Amino acid sequence: MHGRTLKCICDRGYSGEFCDQFVDKCRPNPCKNKGKCHNLIDDFYCECPPEYGQTKDCSTRLVNPCHSSPCFHNGTCFPIASGRVSLNGVNINTYSGFTCKCTSHYRGDICELPADPCSLNPCNHRGQCVLSKDQESYTCRCYPAFTGKNCETYFDPCEKKNMCKNGGVCLPTPEGYKCQCPAEFSGENCEVMLNVCSTMKCLNGGKCVVLNNLPKCQCASSRFVGTRCEIDLNLVTPKDSAFSSALAASDLSCDLLGSDVSPIDYIFFALILFALVIVIIATVYVYVYFGIKRTKKYHSQVQYDNDILILLDKN
């Protein structure tokens, strides 16, 4: 035997120079789908989950995988058929797995993840949903009157001091707040001063001034009256009154009567002049009375129009 080399011929399931190494068929694990591997001599046996039956490597599913409703959030399950096998003389459909068709709001193998967090409209009260860079999360941009992760909490923004400037009144709204500004101011917070006199055109040299937040016309003299100083009193009461004309005519009475007159004639003439004066005064009074009445009516109408314009501007 000198010079000869011995070589061991190993039985099945063993290896090595002296056949002392057991061949582990379960490393790596050949059993799929969480099957448990058992070593046999030069072979292996898979202990499969019930839905896979006693198949070689647990890769063939014998039970329809969709029976357990594996798809979340109303996803639809579709089994993947892999063929048919004969088990105890009965042909059985086999399945290699399943797929889930997810609704538009979800994704993933079993519809377990939101497709787009913002697609579920998580932000309340008309808040704006903003996706993160990885599109796995979101933040809500809320209107000023709401706070919280999903804009679910309301608070009164008018509780903060000095929201509205220059005497403006703060009014809460669903979007936040609104300032009701005085007539001479505008802007979100009544911070912009307006020229309210731009809407009030004063006539006859009148000047516009602001009284109690309203434009008023300050007339140049007492000769003019009205909301816009539009009435000239000299046109309502004429300069050359009928009474003055009567007095001027009375200077001619002696010449008109002549020198051969009696005292009774003078008395009679004086009564005529007196009656004439009374008629003239009454005529002037009626004329002035109705003129002033028309003026007051016009003044009231102008004031009413201005008040309507102011209310419309406020709204």
The per-residue pLDDT for range 286-312, each reduced to its tens digit, is: 888 887 887 777 767 767 666 666 666
For residue 141, what are the contacts with CB-CB under 8 A and spacing of at least 6? 123, 127, 128, 130
If you classify domain 116-155 with CATH, what class do you get? mainly beta
- Domain ranges across the chain: 25-104, 116-155, 159-194, 203-314
**Which of 108, 106, 104, 82 has its CA nearest to residue 95?**
82
The reply to whether 159-194 shares the fold of 116-155 is: yes
Instruction: Give the whole-angstrom CA distance, residue 55 versus residue 32.
Output: 10
d(CA 46, CA 60): 12
- What pLDDT does 247 receive? 37
Provide the CB-side half-sphere exposure for 108 (13 A, CA).
16
**Which CATH number describes the domain made up of 159-194?**
2.10.25.10
> For 134-173, how does the pLDDT look when each residue is reduced to its tens digit (9 = 90+)?
877 889 998 877 889 999 988 887 877 778 888 899 888 8
Residue 249 is predicted with a pLDDT of: 44
Q: Does pTM surpass 0.75?
A: no
User: What pLDDT score was predicted for residue 110?
Assistant: 93
Q: CA of 12: how far to CAs of 25, 27, 40, in Å?
A: 12, 17, 10
Phi, psi dihedrals of residue 9, rounded to the nearest 5°: -100, 115
- Using an 8 Å Cβ cutoff, are 233 and 223 in contact? yes
Helix/strand/coil for 179: strand
Q: Give me the pLDDT at residue 246, please.
A: 45
Cα separations (Å) of 168 from 171, 211, 229, 281, 312? 10, 17, 31, 54, 16
Give, in order, the Cα–Cα distances in Å from 310 to each of 132, 142, 159, 183, 214: 48, 34, 28, 7, 9
Pick out the chain residues at pLDDT < 70: 1-4, 54, 86-90, 213, 236-266, 299, 302, 304-315
Residues 46 and 56: beta-carbon distance below 8 Å: yes
How is domain 25-104 classified at the architecture level of CATH?
A: Ribbon (2.10)
Residue 133: per-residue pLDDT: 84
For position 101, what pLDDT does the model report?
A: 94
**What is the per-residue pLDDT for 241?**
47
What DSSP assignment string belongs to 254-291?
HHHH-SS--HHHHHHHHHHHHHHHHHHHHHHHHHHHHH
